[in-house]
Structure 1
Amino acid sequence: MAASALISIKTNDDKIEIVNQLLLPHITEYVEIDIIQDAHDAIKTMKIRGAPAIASLASLTFAQYLSRALRQEPLPDYFSSGGALKAHVQPLLDYLYTARPTAVNLGNATHRLTKKLDDAIAANEDARTIAQSLIEEGKLIAGEDVGRNKAMAKWGGDWLVSRVQPSTGKTLNVLTVCNTGSLATSGYGTALGLITYLHEVGQLDKAYFTQTAPYHQGSRLTALELKTLQIPSVMICDTMVGSLFQHHNIHAVAVGADRIAKNGDTANKIGTYNAAVLAARHKIPFIVVAPISTVDLNIDSGDQIPIEHRPPLEACLVRGAIYPQPSEGKVEQAQVMLTPFGLDGIYNPSFDVTPAELITAIVTEKGVAVKKDGENFFDLTPIV
């Protein structure tokens, strides 16, 4: 890589810090996560975002909580038995899960920790041993992310190169939606990881990314990440995707996912469905890049994916640095309202669902899935 990637979560012994993504790209401020409630607030208010990143933060914070508890003298009463430990910590896991309902990674992380807890109780392990195994599992959940991101980026990147078969290097132009880089994961990224991989192997010409809406941080974070990595890039408004496809040679659209149903229907940041419809019209491959933990085989289709709606006021506000750009020194920021007061209603979903029929390929760390000829759904069995 030409430069060091940004870091969403920093850990040092017992200390956890996250970069406050609400202030990026103009101000880089790390916020300490000291208690379970801090993690819940950071996830819910979107100080941290990206399905893999929020799962990592929840797992690390839970591990931090238990590590501190084990150092207390005397030990808290809930270490008297495995059952007492479960009665105390299960509500904490359930509470963390409520922070973001659409992103399945968070639920998978909390369910994985619950299963670890239940299996240890069934094996008659003592509460101390159970707590230590939960700490290790929490750290493992966060630590797995970078390696699998690099694996899926290579799978997807190589698949695209094989499909396009460019005759020269620095040829491919790829559009992405929202942020799926190191700020949305524990490192490297999913869809943005694919773009980074193409850049590293000398196949990328430009990365295009959409400004989904004034209040969503995704495009601004993507701009910051691509600039940091020194990857040539172009930002466009989401209403201009059709024009881009008409007048520029775009070889693929690569997006992340917050939840993928059994049939391949995919929930992702609002605006993804728009891009998929336009990509299909222009016969541009549409690639979903996400870890196995994002695939939810318990739901048959996207109709069953819960869609989070953000507070209506968020759709009316924009936050940023005051223009013209200040000279070196303190950056002054402001938040302003773009709409009239007293509107009759505001429709403000955070996500939309792209049907499997509009998706060309789904990539996980285990490989690439494509639909069989004539079918509008995926068999995800080989890649989960």
Structure 2
Amino acid sequence: MAPLISIKSDDDKLEIVNQLLLPHKTEFLEINSVEEAHDAIKTMKIRGAPAIASLAALSVSQHLTRALRAAEPPAFLSSPSALKSHIDTTLAYLFTARPTAVNLGAATRRLTKTLDDAIAAGKVPREIAQELVAEGRAVADEDVGRNKLMAKWAGEWLLQRVADRGLDASKGVNVLTVCNTGSLATSGYGTALGMITYLHETRKLQKAYFTQTAPYHQGSRLTALELQTLQIPSVMICDTMVGSLFQHHEIHAVAVGADRIARNGDTANKIGTYNAAVLAARHKIPFIVVAPISTVDLDVHDGSQIPIEHRPALEACLVRGIRYPNEGGETEQVQVMITPQGLEGIYNPSFDVTPAELISAIVTEKGVAVKEKGAEGFDLSPIV
């Protein structure tokens, strides 16, 4: 079956699949402005650090493409300085949509560099805008290729690790993942879920396990949809059952994505990742982070410096889905409250930070990094 996609882009037409409606309804939402892109990112109609970065970059490309085609060019195309002021403001605004996802910052910095380099080269506003359009599209186009590279690196590293430990993987390996890191979270193929896909494609995967991190959390539902679409054998478990899973089933690895990786290897990812890492360490199960280079933030020394986004408290009280039983096959969704009304003191962070000491390997499109013997942190220089 064809893989799922999160973004469709053709010339200046830009659409995203509204992930709030998945897995029961697939509906594409047209994005016609930077403001609409910002809203889609902030309200989590699109999610996954690479996909967020792609949408932000593509929305800038769309904005400039339409400006270049306008019968009356907007004022910001009147001079290089006017264009710079406009684009700097636009990129700063987009960055505020999801502050933890460093890929978004990497994309905005990349476009800023393209802008500054073109101005320094003495190019006129229309030329500068055309270069920004091309660079914005490149941010999204390059994602699929690097995802396939890191998926292969991670999959082969795990298979070698299993062989070195003398474990029986004749029927394939079993891998647990947290949150969604597949085609819906990227521009295609995926990161940690890409690794699982690679193992499946090479017939080295026995089963994929994925956590339901909270009743309202959409990531696990999207993972379920992606694995079902790709016909990958899989099992969903509640995040409170990870310890039991490790006790009673042979799990060869935990593989997760990342929203930001600090210089020492501390990694921010969807809430519940740290829990899985602690339990994996207790059971001596390799814990692998699979993420693009753009996720590594060398300006952040360790996880204590990573900003953690907190979602509205109300989100922790709600769950959305279709009615059950549903004999008519209807896809209309309902939202219900699962806690007492007016509940106070709700703790609802979107992410937690897994310390580097609990991570076995960090994989990017450039390869695999492991810690030196006895070291708590990583040297990421070979893979960034």
Q: Report the TM-score, using the length of structure 2 for normalisation.
A: 0.98
Question: Is the 2:251–2:285 contact (alpha carbons within 8 Å) kept by the matching residues of 1?
Answer: yes
Paired residue secondary structure (2:281) = helix
Partner of 2:79: 81
1:121 CA drift (Å): 1.1
Tell me the equivalent position of 1:376.
376
Please show how residues 51-200 of structure 1 align to structure 2 within 5 Å: 51-165=49-163, 169-200=170-201
1:221 matched to which residue of 2?
222
Give 1:215 deviation, angstroms. 1.0
Which segment is superposed worse, 251-260 or 115-124?
A: 115-124
The one-letter code matched in structure 2 to 1:380 is L
Matched length: 381
Q: Distance in 1 between matches of 2:289 and 2:350?
A: 18
Alignment of 1:27-66 (within 5 A): 27-66=25-64
Query: Using a 3 Å threshold, how does the CA distance of structure 1 residues 238 and 55 change in structure 2: closer, same or farther?
Result: same
Deviates more, 1:166-175 or 1:267-276: 166-175
d(CA) in 2 for partners of 1:185, 1:273? 22
Query: Could you tell me how far apart the structure 2 residues matched to 1:353 and 1:326 are?
Result: 42
User: Residues 67 and 322 (structure 1 numbering): CA distance in 2 closer, same or farther, change over 3 Å?
Assistant: same
Separation in 1, partners of 2:104, 2:237:
30
Q: Cα deviation per residue 1:282-333 (whole Å; 9 max; x = unaligned)?
A: 00000000000000000100000000000000000000011113334x3232
Name the residue aligned to 1:356.
356
Aligned equivalents of 1:4, 1:341: Cα separation in 2: 43
Query: For 1:322-377, what per-residue CA distance to the aligned partner results, in whole angstroms no more than 9, with x for missing partners?
Result: 1113334x323210001111223100000000000000000000000000000000
Instruction: Report the secondary structure of 1:185's partner residue.
Output: coil
Cα distance in 2 for partners of 1:370, 1:78 equals 47
Change (3 A) 1:169 1:199: farther
Partners of 1:299 and 1:332 lie apart in 2 by: 44
Amino acid at match of 1:282: H
Asked whether the equivalents of residues 179 and 221 of structure 1 are also in contact (C-alpha less than 8 Å), the reply is: yes
Alpha-carbon distance in 2 for matches of 1:219, 1:53:
17
Structure 2 CA distance for partners of 1:301 and 1:168, relative to 1, 3 Å: closer
In structure 2, what is the Cα distance between the partners aligned to 1:344 and 1:331?
33
- Contact 1:169 1:202 (8 Å CA) reproduced: no
Structure 1 342/25 Cα, relative in aligned 2: closer, same or farther at 3 Å?
A: same
Shift of 1:168: 5.4
What is the CA distance between 1:12 and its match in structure 2?
2.1
Query: 166-175 vs 77-86, which deviates more?
Result: 166-175
Q: CA deviation at 1:169?
A: 4.5
SS state of the match for residue 307, structure 2? Answer: coil
Identity of aligned residues (%): 75
2:247 is the alignment partner of 1:246: yes
Cα distance in structure 1, aligned partners of 2:365 and 2:170: 25
Gaps of 5+ in 1: none
Which range is displaced more, 262-271 or 337-346? 337-346
- Which residue number corresponds to residue 318 of structure 2? 317
| Deviates further, 161-170 or 51-60 | 161-170
Per the alignment, residue 345 of structure 1 pairs with: 345
2:366 aligns with 366
**Deviation (angstroms), 1:167:** 5.5
Match of 2:333 in 1: 333
Aligned-pair distance for 1:170? Answer: 3.6
* Cα gap change, 1:168 to 1:346, in 2 (>3 Å): closer
**1:10 is the counterpart of 2:8:** yes
Looking at structure 2, the residues matched to 28 and 303 of structure 1 have their Cα atoms a distance apart, in angstroms, of 38
- Cα gap change, 1:282/1:168 in structure 2, threshold over 3 Å: closer, same or farther? closer
**159-168 vs 244-253, which moves further:** 159-168
Q: Quote the Cα distance in structure 1 between the aligned partners of 2:168 and 2:246.
A: 21
Given that 1:252 and 1:286 are in contact with CA atoms closer than 8 Å, whether structure 2 keeps it comes out as yes
Which amino acid counterpart does residue 302 of structure 2 have in structure 1?
S
Q: Post-superposition shift, 1:120? A: 1.1
The 5-angstrom pairing of residues 226-241 of structure 1 reads 226-241=227-242
SS in 1 for 2:334: strand
User: Which is further off, 341-350 or 175-184?
Assistant: 341-350
Aligned partners of 2:68, 2:11: CA distance in 1, in Å? Answer: 15
TM-score computed with the length of structure 1 as normaliser? 0.98
CA distance in 2, matches of 1:366, 1:185: 18
Q: Tell me the alpha carbon deviations over residues 64-109 of structure 1, each in whole angstroms, 9 at most, x when there is no partner.
A: 0000000112322222211111112211111111000000000110
Per-residue displacement from partner, 1:221-267 (whole Å, max 9, x unpaired)? 00000000000000000000000000000000000000000000000
Q: Distance in 2 between matches of 1:167 and 1:354?
A: 28
- CA separation of 1:227/1:117 partners in 2, compared to 1, >3 Å: closer, same or farther? same
Which range moves more in the overlay, 336-345 or 225-234? 336-345
Give, in whole Å, the separation in 1 of the partners of 2:294 and 2:287: 20
Secondary structure at 1:6's aligned position in 2? coil
Q: 2:162–2:169: 8 Å Cα contact kept in structure 1?
A: no
Distance in 2 between residues matched to 1:358 and 1:320, nearest whole Å: 35
Write the mapping of 1:289-308 to structure 2, written as runs, cut at 5 A: 289-308=290-309
Once residues 244 and 346 of structure 1 are traced to their aligned partners in structure 2, the CA distance between those partners, rounded to angstroms, is 28
* Aligned counterparts of 2:2 and 2:162: Cα–Cα separation in 1: 29
Distance, in Å, in 2 between the alignment partners of 1:209 and 1:28 is 22
